[in-house]
């Protein structure tokens, strides 16, 4: 893993973490039962439910393709995710607004791990208390980004709109208590 920006303390990036990302993307687009309750993107949840943005998800087993990624993530980060929340951005109009993930109810390092599939999109950080301080990180297909607690407390992050017609999916892993 490499540190991407010194000010983003504890954020680590692995560029080619899942080399077979195109096959995983095709599986996810075609086989995941996508939830349309949020307008800005589609979602799905596996494992121990992580209820988020006012939505609840039913507990469910990890399907085999996701379980393989979950195990590889555990080996990489040193804690065991038991939840995966998937976000499906069909094109550049789909997005996620600025937020910090709550540590409440999370084990592991209280953080989140993002595995990216599909078109590369920018993850934008802005410093809490000084929104002019910004850092952009490109999330390449097949990459892993790990965000621990310190960065969530000091920075918010967002996935802004982009000028692309290509889809992206993020697999976001957490350890839910
Ligand atoms: O889709 C993404 O990569 C963003 C995910 C995210 O911001 C989060 O899970 O907190």
Q: 21-31 vs 64-77: helix axis angle to the nearest 10?
A: 130
Domain boundaries, position 79: 2-174
Which residue minimizes the CA distance to atom 10 of ligand 1? Answer: 101
Number of independent structural domains in the chain:
1
Q: Nearest-CA neighbor of 169 among 96, 79, 74? A: 96
- Find out whether 24 and 69 touch, Cβ atoms under 8 Å: yes
- Find out whether 86 and 28 touch, Cβ atoms under 8 Å: yes
34-85: per-residue pLDDT in tens?
A: 999 888 999 999 999 887 767 777 889 999 999 999 999 999 999 999 999 9
- Find out whether 146 and 177 touch, Cβ atoms under 8 Å: no
- Find out whether 3 and 137 touch, Cβ atoms under 8 Å: no
Measured in Å, residue 46 CA sits from the centre of ligand 1 at 15
Q: Chain-wide mean pLDDT for the chain?
A: 92
Identify the band that residue 109 occupies on the pLDDT scale cut at 50, 70 and 90.
low
Mean pLDDT score, 1-5: 68
Which of 115, 159, 168 has most ligand 1 atoms within 8 Å of CB, for mutation? 159
Query: CATH number, domain at 58?
Result: 2.60.120.590
**Helix, coil or strand: residue 22:** helix
Which residue minimizes the CA distance to atom 4 of ligand 1? Answer: 159
Which of 13, 73, 96, 149 has most ligand 1 atoms within 8 Å of CB, for mutation? 96
């Amino acid at each position: 893993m490499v540190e991407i920006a010194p000010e983003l303390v504890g954020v680590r990036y692995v560029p080619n973490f899942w080399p077979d990302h195109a096959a995983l993307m095709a599986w996810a687009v075609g086989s995941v039962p996508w939830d349309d309750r949020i307008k800005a993107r589609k979602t799905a949840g596996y494992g121990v439910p992580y209820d988020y943005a006012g939505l609840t998800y039913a507990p469910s087993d990890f399907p085999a393709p996701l379980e393989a990624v979950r195990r590889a993530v555990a080996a990489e980060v040193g804690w065991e995710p038991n939840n995966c929340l998937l976000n499906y951005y069909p094109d550049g109009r789909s997005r996620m607004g600025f937020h910090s993930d709550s540590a409440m109810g999370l084990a592991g390092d209280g953080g989140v791990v993002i595995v990216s599939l599909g078109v590369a999109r920018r993850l934008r950080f802005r410093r809490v208390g000084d929104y002019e301080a910004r850092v952009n990180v490109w999330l390449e297909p097949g990459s892993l980004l790990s965000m621990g607690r310190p960065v969530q407390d000091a920075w918010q992050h967002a996935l802004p709109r982009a000028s692309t017609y290509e889809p992206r999916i993020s697999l976001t892993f957490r350890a839910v208590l």
